[in-house]
Amino acid sequence: MKIDLQGNVCVLGLQWGDEGKGKIVNLMADPDGPAGRFDFVVRYSGGANAGHTVVVGSEKFAMHLVPSGILSPAATAVIANGVVIDPQVLLEEIEGLKYRNVKLEDNLKISNKAHLVFPYHKLQDKLSEQQLGKKSIGTTCRGIGPCYSDKAARTTGIRVGELYQKEHFAEKLRRIIEKKNIIFESLYGEHQPIDFNSVFEQYCEYAERLKPYVCDTTALLHQAISDGKRIMFEGAQGALLDIDHGTYPFVTSSNSGTGGLITGTGLPPSCINNVLGVMKAYSTRVGGGPFPTELNNDIGQYIRDRGNEYGTTTGRPRRTGWIDTVALRYAIEVNGITSIAIMLLDVLTGLDKIKIAVSYKVDGARMDFFPANAYELEGIEVEYEELPGWRDEITEARTQDDLPAEAIQYLRTLQDILERPIKIASVGPERDQTIAIDL
């Protein structure tokens, strides 16, 4: 299988996450992969809220912080400065990979500028969500929002590099924990105060274990570019969860789109040659927030069951719905998408009719542009185009010609509406269940 994707490629989700980015990144990171060899695979945003599944034969990997490209011995995996790192999760992931004989020595690099997630971030995430009750965001409780907030606040953020200035780290951490304990006590009432000594000792131990991997990844990536090396960027979350361009406030706390790639790596925009948008053949969302094409019925459950739509990170059932080309066209424009991979096409097998959302109306008037403000999406009316479904399973299909005419019609209709070439269709979690598309 060959696909034409030249130069440095960013792979990012076009919906609300879980589009199948892990599968595509892993497939493309293989030196004999469909788009040729990549030397680096780089995570640039998000943290352990991400859960990227990679299936290789009988083995299944759930990656949270380490780029999915690590499973390829050819590529160096980089966790760049825009990522927020929970060292406990990262070290568990590293140990788990080593145990499964994945090579992890010189080929993992961690930015000294990345911010660290501390236990008080996870606690704050949980307490804040509990307090909000029905109005909660539905976060993964991985401490992501509180950590990015502290990064922006400056005086309460701690970066990986600071772990190695022990006196400075101790003084700063002590001051922050004292402050957090006062805030938590007054905002959330009773809870076990966070103990400075145990957090400090724990993080000093983490620091030693992470040391071999820590470097200035900005310098590393600039050197890679001047040496003519090829880079793949692994997006986390999805375009509609982007803090600026997603369905705010039901979003994550970082820029998951191409904007985040630039700030999250320190590379200039000119280094991105192609942006591959990854989308499901339908839509899903975990947590709260608007979802105009949601299916709270038997069809929604059918999709959830066939797609095994339960979160990789939290195990929560994912909400399901029809594909939404109004939201997708917006995601494509905002992120400069050059081509598309459509995933989980096999899940739609067996449906009589398949619907595509083509426009939104509010009070009878058509909306021209996706309103990313969550409240504007309440009460909108969705207009659909209806296409025939197909009956026979397609998980064994390996070329475009193996797909039923109705599936091709579905892909062609989407390609026409989205005005970008669909280059990949995926018909199962395994690597070989991937088809090069040329319509």
Catalytic residues: 18, 52
The answer to whether 287 and 23 have CB atoms below 8 angstroms apart is: no
User: Rule CB under 6 A: which of 24-53 touch ligand GDP?
Assistant: 51-53
Give the CA-trace dihedral at 12, 16, 18, 22, to 10 degrees. Answer: 10
- Give the H or E element holding residue 307: none
User: Rule CB under 5 A: which of 311-350 touch Mg ion?
Assistant: 312
Q: Report in angstroms the alpha-carbon separations of 217 from 76, 108, 239, 348, 366.
A: 11, 11, 24, 41, 46
Strand ranges (E), 212-350: 214-215, 231-234, 274-280, 283-285, 319-321, 323-324, 339-343
From the list 274, 217, 272, 230, the residue with the least C-alpha distance to 31 is 230
- Region of 10-18, 75-83, 257-265, 383-391 interacting with ligand GDP (CB under 6 A): 10-18
Amino acid at 203: Y
Among 11, 14, 21, 325, binds ligand GDP (CB under 6 A): 21
- Give the H or E element holding residue 5: none
Q: How many residues bind ligand IMO (CB under 6 A)?
A: 24
Chosen from Mg ion, ligand IMO, ligand GDP, none, partner binding at 428 (C-beta under 5 to 8 Å by type) = ligand GDP
Q: How many residues bind ligand GDP (CB under 6 A)?
A: 22
Per CB under 6 A, 173 contacts ligand IMO: no
Chosen from ligand GDP, ligand IMO, Mg ion, none, partner binding at 9 (C-beta under 5 to 8 Å by type) = none
From the list 124, 316, 330, the residue with the least C-alpha distance to 247 is 330
Chosen from Mg ion, ligand GDP, ligand IMO, none, partner binding at 429 (C-beta under 5 to 8 Å by type) = ligand GDP
Q: How far is it, in rounded angstroms, from Cα 429 to Cα 424?
A: 13
Of the chain, the end-to-end C-alpha distance in Å amounts to 15
Q: Among positive and negative, which fits the CA dihedral 179, 182, 188, 194?
A: positive
Residue whose CB is less far from Mg ion, 18 or 93: 18
Chosen from Mg ion, ligand IMO, ligand GDP, none, partner binding at 355 (C-beta under 5 to 8 Å by type) = none
Per CB under 6 A, 67 contacts ligand GDP: no
Residue whose CB is less far from ligand GDP, 117 or 236: 236
Q: What is the DSSP string of 36-98?
A: ---SEEEE-SB-TT--EEEEETTEEEEESSS-GGGGSTTSEEEE-TTBEE-HHHHHHHHHHHH
The answer to whether 291 and 321 have CB atoms below 8 angstroms apart is: yes
Per CB under 6 A, 287 contacts ligand GDP: no
Least Å distance between CB 222 and Mg ion?
Answer: 30
Residue whose CB is less far from Mg ion, 18 or 129: 18
Per CB under 6 A, 242 contacts ligand GDP: no
Q: How far is it, in rounded angstroms, from Cα 33 to Cα 6?
A: 13
Per CB under 6 A, 49 contacts ligand IMO: yes
Residue whose CB is less far from ligand IMO, 81 or 237: 237
Taking each helix axis as running N to C, give the angle between helix 166-188 and helix 119-132, from 0 to 180 degrees, rounded to the nearest 10.
Answer: 20
Per CB under 5 A, 69 contacts Mg ion: no
Per CB under 6 A, 110 contacts ligand IMO: no
Least Å distance between CB 67 and ligand GDP?
Answer: 11
Site string for ligand GDP, 377-416 (x = CB under 6 A): ----------------------------------------
Site string for ligand IMO, 245-264 (x = CB under 6 A): -------xx-----------
DSSP 192: P
Binding site for ligand IMO (CB under 6 A): 13, 16-18, 49-52, 137-140, 142, 144-145, 236-238, 241, 252-253, 286-287, 312
Binding site for ligand GDP (CB under 6 A): 13, 17-23, 51-53, 55, 307, 312, 343-344, 346-347, 426-429
